[in-house]
Amino acid sequence: MGLEESKAKYVWMNGEYVEWNNARIHICSHVIHYGTGVFEGIRCYKTPKGPAVFRMKDHTDRLFNSAKIYRMDIPFTKDQVNSAMLDLIRKNGHDECYIRPIVYRGYKELGVNPFNCPVDIALITWFWGKYLGPEALEQGVDVMVSSWNRMAPNTFPAMSKTCANYMNSQLIKMEAIKYGYAEGIALDVNGFLSEGSGENLFVVHKGVIHTPPLHATILPGITRDTVIALARDLGYEVVETMMLREMLYIADEVFFTGSAAEVTPIRSVDRIPVGAGKRGPVTKKLQETFFEVIDGKRDDTRGWLTFIR
């Protein structure tokens, strides 16, 4: 389903509600020419107690941190952004939706120096189903190790969820699609496992859950953090460690996490089956536990859900 079929009625732009088809920026906006923007991807879930945004405050914190790295002063407070997010969901009448906050340098002048361009912010909501397909959560996906690496440290800041970084992600994703895969896994500049084009990576080997650390130039994923916390609650050992590519081939299970991808098993890498070539028991248990929090079957002891009231 494309945006036109799933669009909402309103977009929030700099404090104003604008009808979807009128939510426009100038062709000379700095973000269009130089990628000067940071963003988030957040899910609002349909729960037994009504719509609830998952880890809203953590996403807003990361949005502000991303902007800070790029010296972009957001003209609203975190509380104002969170309040606007909830109001927009109400105004658009969503039971569930995907939320895209974006902060960007707008229209004034062009040139690499961005300081004279205004910092604008928008909030967008729409219905977005399962990112890698509805069957992916159970059956898993086929992926490849990409020929494109993630950025080196001190080149592009991997800890900032910035628009420009996703040009690298597009190369990884397009290559995978052209070769018949659902997704690609990128290595870091030293050849160690990093992440997917838009997902964090986990490897299960001999009962231990491994995931690349921040210095593998990964985005500090909020679903990644969620899964680490839930796995430890369940008694699993979780290790953040640098991993060689071949760990993917000898792993018992491999899975992606992300706000869009949620917890998606990987059934093969480079045409080599992962484990039994289907979703494994650890991945299944983590999926179930993740959705139990959303469905109210497990106590939300960490306050991850913000309900739309």
Q: Do residue 93 and residue 141 come from a single domain?
A: no
> Is residue 34, in this structure, part of any structural domain at all?
yes
Under 8 Å CB-to-CB from 276, ≥6 apart: which residues? none
Tell me if residue 78 is catalytic: no
Torsion, CA 66, CA 71, CA 76, CA 79, rounded to 10: 40
- For 223, the token pair is 């679903």
Q: What is residue 1's predicted lDDT score, i.e. its pLDDT?
A: 61
Task: Give the predicted TM-score (pTM) of the model.
Answer: 0.95
192 secondary structure, DSSP code: B
Residue 194 CA to residue 225 CA, distance in Å, equals 16
Q: What is residue 130's predicted lDDT score, i.e. its pLDDT?
A: 64
CB atoms within 10 A of CB 122: 19
Q: Do residue 185 and residue 155 come from a single domain?
A: yes
Q: Do residue 284 and residue 170 come from a single domain?
A: yes
Residue 306: closest CA among 48, 54, 47, 125: 54
Active-site position among 161, 178, 206, 278 = 161
Q: What is residue 128's predicted lDDT score, i.e. its pLDDT?
A: 81
How far is CA 38 from its chain centroid?
12
Question: Which residue range(s) make up the domain with 203?
Answer: 136-294
**HSE-CB of 298 using CA atoms within 13 angstroms:** 17
Residue 125 CA to residue 238 CA, distance in Å, equals 34
Q: Do residue 165 and residue 288 come from a single domain?
A: yes
β-pairing, 37-39 vs 97-105, is antiparallel
CB atoms within 10 A of CB 188: 21
Q: Which of 87, 105, 126 is the last residue of a domain?
A: 126
> Is residue 308, in this structure, part of any structural domain at all?
no
> Is residue 307, in this structure, part of any structural domain at all?
no
Q: What is residue 244's predicted lDDT score, i.e. its pLDDT?
A: 98
> Is residue 131, in this structure, part of any structural domain at all?
no
309 secondary structure, DSSP code: -
User: In the chain, how many domains are there?
Assistant: 2
Residue 79 CA to residue 170 CA, distance in Å, equals 32
Residue 104: closest CA among 63, 137, 132: 63
Residue 30 CA to residue 105 CA, distance in Å, equals 5
Q: Do residue 166 and residue 51 come from a single domain?
A: no
Q: Do residue 112 and residue 150 come from a single domain?
A: no
Is-contact 241 205, C-beta < 8 A? no
- For 250, the token pair is 């000898």
Q: Do residue 48 and residue 171 come from a single domain?
A: no
Q: Do residue 104 and residue 144 come from a single domain?
A: no
Q: Do residue 94 and residue 237 come from a single domain?
A: no
Q: Do residue 86 and residue 201 come from a single domain?
A: no
Q: What is residue 296's predicted lDDT score, i.e. its pLDDT?
A: 83
Q: What is residue 7's predicted lDDT score, i.e. its pLDDT?
A: 86
Residue 25: closest CA among 104, 90, 127: 104
Q: What is residue 302's predicted lDDT score, i.e. its pLDDT?
A: 95
> Is residue 215, in this structure, part of any structural domain at all?
yes
Residuewise pLDDT in 10s, the chain (309 residues): 678 778 899 999 999 999 999 999 999 999 999 999 999 999 999 999 999 999 999 999 999 999 999 999 999 999 999 999 999 999 999 999 999 999 999 999 999 999 999 999 999 999 987 656 667 788 899 999 999 999 999 999 999 999 999 999 999 999 999 999 999 999 999 999 999 999 999 999 999 999 999 999 999 999 999 999 999 999 999 999 999 999 999 999 999 999 988 999 999 999 999 999 999 999 999 999 999 998 888 899 999 999 997
Residue 262's domain is classified under what CATH number?
A: 3.20.10.10
Q: Do residue 145 and residue 290 come from a single domain?
A: yes
Q: Do residue 207 and residue 266 come from a single domain?
A: yes
> Is residue 97, in this structure, part of any structural domain at all?
yes
Residue 24's domain is classified under what CATH number?
A: 3.30.470.10
**HSE-CB of 190 using CA atoms within 13 angstroms:** 9
